[in-house]
Structure 1
Amino acid sequence: MPVIIVEGGKIDDPEKKRKLISKLTDAACEAYGTIPKQAFVVIIKENSAENIGSGGECLADRMKK
């Protein structure tokens, strides 16, 4: 059972989460070629902007600019 973990900012729209899960599953299923779609597990780990940094700067601070 392959597990796909996506870690990033919050996704407030449940439909966007469904789309992300579907597209990741489809891509992985195609890449593996022999594993059925139902075997894949997708986990979305959401983080607030205060807990994300990039380029040495807090994302929450960058978003304020």
Structure 2
Amino acid sequence: MPVITLEAASLNKDQKKQLVEEFTKSAARIMNMPKASFYVFLKENLPDNVGVGGVLLSEKKHS
């Protein structure tokens, strides 16, 4: 059971669908395995839940 995980900001349903399809297609081809063996997990991270350098992304000033 190969697992592919992507952590990103907010994604819409079309983006999620395309990512799942493309990741699965590429991994199946590269690993020579059936598409049905792959699990794809998309994890969305809100800026309030991510810190960089000790500061929440939601509090960082954008330049």
TM-score normalised by the chain length of structure 1: 0.76
Structure 1 match to 2:16:
17
Structure 1 match to 2:38: 40
For residue 6 of structure 2, what is the aligned residue in structure 1? 6
Letter in 1 for 2:7: E
Q: How many angstroms does 1:39 deviate by?
A: 1.1
Partner of 1:27: 26
Cα deviation, residue 16, structure 1:
0.6
CA RMSD of aligned residues (A): 1.6
**What is the number of equivalent residue pairs in this alignment?**
61
Residue identity in the other structure for 2:39:
V
Runs of 4+ that moved beyond 6 A = none
Q: Which 5+ residue runs of structure 2 have no aligned equivalent?
A: none
Report matched runs for 1:46-65 at 5 Å: 46-54=44-52, 56=53, 57-62=55-60, 65=62
Post-superposition shift, 1:61?
A: 2.6
TM superposition score normalised by structure 2? 0.78
Distance in 2 between residues matched to 1:30 and 1:61, nearest whole Å: 41
* C-alpha displacement of 1:8: 2.1
* Aligned partner letter, 1:23: E
